[in-house]
């Protein structure tokens, strides 16, 4: 029996993905005035959903997120297609998700700590 | 994973802050020089513009299809260029730099344009700051695991 609580692999992967997505979104925000820049995005959720359908949460740590360049969305006159409001909202959402995942990990760790010390 | 890679999101936001601050400085310089008719290069002042480009780290996977992000490095200023658009001429015979016909060649600074650039630069600066702040929040939350 594994010592660490279940879903730790899944949670750490999800945290990794939110950190990666944060980098990508801040990169978009930093390039909001760069002519010809196409916004980037991280795709992971679909791959994760497929993996969980087939294999459950076993081996999720091998799953890799992918950075996608969005060349389809029409841009401004200078060819840049970053929508700053959208990026900021996604940044907020991503931070919230990251907080939620980390809070779950923290709670599980606290439970473990309590059961070890027998309180 | 070193100091620079694990906290790379700070560097990305910082590059955006630096770039937008530079843009604000250039705009302020344009406004300050809006009626300057003598420059070291000779002739009236020409308005300056900054050129940005996407900064990518050469030793990291960067763009489309990559599974890591160490290649992303935010934005970089390539150059500050002169706006070569036509310089307006104003009739002012009393001006010391007026030509034989009484016309003075003025800088091609357009105040409304500069103000719009100033506002977009300010907003973009705030957005970058917000992104850096979110990253602080995320790291604070991660620290709660260690704190227990």
Whether residue B20 has pLDDT greater than 60: yes
- Exposed, middle or buried, B68 (CB in 10 Å: 0-12/13-18/19+)? middle
B67·A32 Cβ contact <8 A:
no
The CA-atom distances, in angstroms, between B135 and each of A28, A66, B13 are: 15, 20, 10
B63·A87 Cβ contact <8 A:
no
Q: pLDDT tens across A1-37, in order?
A: 466 666 888 898 999 999 999 999 999 999 998 999 9
Q: Is B42 left (phi over 0), alpha (psi -120 to 50) or beta?
A: left
B interface with A, Cβ–Cβ < 8 A, is 8-9, 12-13, 15-16, 19-20, 23, 52-54, 63-69, 72-75, 120-121, 123-124, 127-128, 130-132, 134-135, 137-138, 141-142, 144-145, 148
pTM tops 0.95: no
Domains in chain B: how many in total?
1
| A24 and chain B in contact, CB less than 8 A | yes
Domain region containing B85 = 3-147
| Helical spans, DSSP H, in chain B | 3-6, 8-32, 111-147
**What is the arithmetic mean of pLDDT over B15-20?**
93
Which residue, among A93, A89, A88, has the nearest Cα to B124 in the 3D structure?
A: A88
B74·A27 Cβ contact <8 A:
yes
B141·A102 Cβ contact <8 A:
yes
**For A92, which residue in chain B has the nearest alpha carbon?**
B134
Q: String of b and e for A71-89 (b: at least 16 CB within 10 Å)?
A: eeeebeeeebbbbbeebbe
Q: pLDDT tens across A83-109, in order?
A: 998 999 999 999 999 999 999 999 888
């Amino acid at each position: 029996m594994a010592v660490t609580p279940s879903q730790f692999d899944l949670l750490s992967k999800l945290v990794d993905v939110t950190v990666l997505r944060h980098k990508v979104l801040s990169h978009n925000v930093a390039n909001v005035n760069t002519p010809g820049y196409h916004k980037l995005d991280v795709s992971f959720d679909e791959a994760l959903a497929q993996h969980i359908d087939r294999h459950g949460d076993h081996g999720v740590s091998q799953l890799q997120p992918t950075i996608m360049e969005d060349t389809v969305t029409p841009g401004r006159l200078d060819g840049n297609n970053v929508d700053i409001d959208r990026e900021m909202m996604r940044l907020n959402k991503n931070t919230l998700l990251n907080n939620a995942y980390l809070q779950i990990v923290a709670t599980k760790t606290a439970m473990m700590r309590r059961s070890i010390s027998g309180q | 994973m070193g100091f620079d890679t694990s906290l790379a999101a700070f560097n990305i936001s910082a590059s955006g802050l630096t770039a937008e601050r530079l843009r604000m400085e250039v705009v302020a310089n344009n406004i300050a020089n809006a009626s300057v008719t003598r420059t070291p290069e000779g002739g009236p002042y020409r308005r300056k513009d900054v050129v940005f480009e996407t900064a990518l780290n050469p030793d990291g996977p960067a763009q489309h299809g990559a599974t890591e992000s160490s290649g992303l490095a935010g934005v970089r200023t390539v150059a500050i260029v002169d706006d070569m658009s036509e310089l307006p001429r104003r009739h002012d015979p009393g001006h010391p730099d007026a030509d034989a016909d009484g016309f003075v060649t003025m800088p091609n600074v357009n105040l409304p344009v500069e103000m719009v650039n100033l506002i977009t630069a300010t907003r973009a600066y705030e957005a970058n700051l917000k992104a850096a702040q979110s990253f602080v929040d995320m790291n604070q939350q991660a620290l709660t695991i260690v704190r227990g």
